[in-house]
Amino acid sequence: MLNLSRKRNDSCFSSALASIKIMGMIDPHRFSLFLAAATLLAIAPGPGMLYVLARTLAGGRREGVLSSLGTFLGGLAHVLAAATGLSIVLATSATAFAVVKYAGAAYLIYLGVRMIISARNDQDTGIEIHSGRAPRNPFWQGIATEALNPKTAIFFLAFIPQFVNRAGGAVFWQFLLLGTISVALNTSCDLIVTLIAAPIGARLKASAVLRRRQRTATGLTLIGLGAFVAVSDSR
């Protein structure tokens, strides 16, 4: 028992050291910018949050929590796939790294502009509450909903590489860490929405001003990120 306990402690200690080492490879300034942007994007109502909100209002908190955990795993699948594919290219080619970053910057600016336009048009929030029995297996449906969403994959391919420090090495682990943090922030906000679903649902459906402000702030953030990448170095 003592040996088993020591092995577990050694494993936890090694994991902590590995995480610290990876964090040391990430540029502190870019990481601060990443946290600010990822947090703002997490609290802005997106398809994932609205999906969880709809499931919660239809089936209760338990269904909302299971849906949130499902979208978390679905998001991690995108992060792992993107990290695996991109790390091979980005770690070996400075040109490819620059191409990915600039293409991602252009896509972020495009998303930001679209979000601001949608804020001005005040399109519907997309919350749909269906009557009758809620769909089965909210956990697995949450995984499928997120994992099979191509827009999520494209977003991670555009967003995460902007903060990876190629010069620091371990591109795969940097990408995986940043992506996991981003998904965890999204899920944390989804769980908060689940806990206070009724008031949030009412406000999102009733307050056009709130919707416009959130979308505009998120759109400006995306445009700012894209501009930052465009004028910064492509390490």
How confident is residue 130, by pLDDT bands cut at 50, 70 and 90?
A: very low
Q: Is 28 exposed, middle or buried (0-12, 13-18, 19+ CB in 10 A)?
A: exposed
Q: Does residue 12 form part of some domain?
A: no
Q: What is the pLDDT of residue 69?
A: 95
Q: Does residue 71 form part of some domain?
A: yes
Q: Is 196 exposed, middle or buried (0-12, 13-18, 19+ CB in 10 A)?
A: exposed
125 vs 101: CA distance, rounded Å: 30
Q: Among 17, 20, 51, 22, which residue's Cα sits nearest to residue 165?
A: 22
How confident is residue 65, by pLDDT bands cut at 50, 70 and 90?
A: very high
Q: What is the pLDDT of residue 191?
A: 94
> H helices of the chain, where?
2-25, 28-43, 47-59, 61-90, 94-121, 138-147, 150-159, 171-195, 197-206, 208-231
Mean pLDDT of 32-38: 90
Q: Does residue 37 form part of some domain?
A: yes
Q: Does residue 3 form part of some domain?
A: no
Q: Among 8, 79, 55, which residue's Cα sits nearest to residue 193?
A: 55
Q: Does residue 23 form part of some domain?
A: no
Is residue 175 scored above 80 in pLDDT?
yes
Mean pLDDT of 26-32: 84
Is residue 71 scored above 80 in pLDDT?
yes
Mean pLDDT of 73-92: 81
Q: Among 166, 156, 178, which residue's Cα sits nearest to residue 23?
A: 178
- The predicted model scores a pTM of 0.74
Q: Tell me the pLDDT tens digit for each residue of 83-108.
A: 887 766 665 677 777 777 788 788 88
Q: What is the pLDDT of residue 74?
A: 92
Q: Does residue 10 form part of some domain?
A: no
How confident is residue 10, by pLDDT bands cut at 50, 70 and 90?
A: low
The string of DSSP letters for 18-68 reads: HHHHHHHHS-HHHHHHHHHHHHHHHHS--HHHHHHHHHHHHH-HHHHHHHH
Domain that holds residue 227: 28-231
Half-sphere exposure of 7 (CA within 13 A, CB side): 4
pLDDT: which is higher, 113 or 134: 113
How confident is residue 208, by pLDDT bands cut at 50, 70 and 90?
A: low
How confident is residue 133, by pLDDT bands cut at 50, 70 and 90?
A: very low
Torsion of CA 219, 97, 166, 87, to 10 degrees: 100
Structure tokens at 18: 């590995």
Q: Among 60, 53, 96, which residue's Cα sits nearest to residue 193?
A: 53
Is residue 207 scored above 80 in pLDDT?
no
Angle at 169 between CA 163 and CA 172, to 5 degrees: 70
Q: Does residue 173 form part of some domain?
A: yes
171 vs 87: CA distance, rounded Å: 6
Mean pLDDT of 7-25: 54
Task: Report the number of distinct structural domains present in the chain.
Answer: 1
Q: What is the pLDDT of residue 49?
A: 83
184 vs 149: CA distance, rounded Å: 18
Q: Does residue 13 form part of some domain?
A: no
Q: What is the pLDDT of residue 75?
A: 93
Return mean pLDDT, the chain: 76
184 vs 182: CA distance, rounded Å: 5
Q: What is the pLDDT of residue 81?
A: 86
28-42, 67-81, 127-141, 180-194: least confident range: 127-141
Angle at 169 between CA 163 and CA 171, to 5 degrees: 55
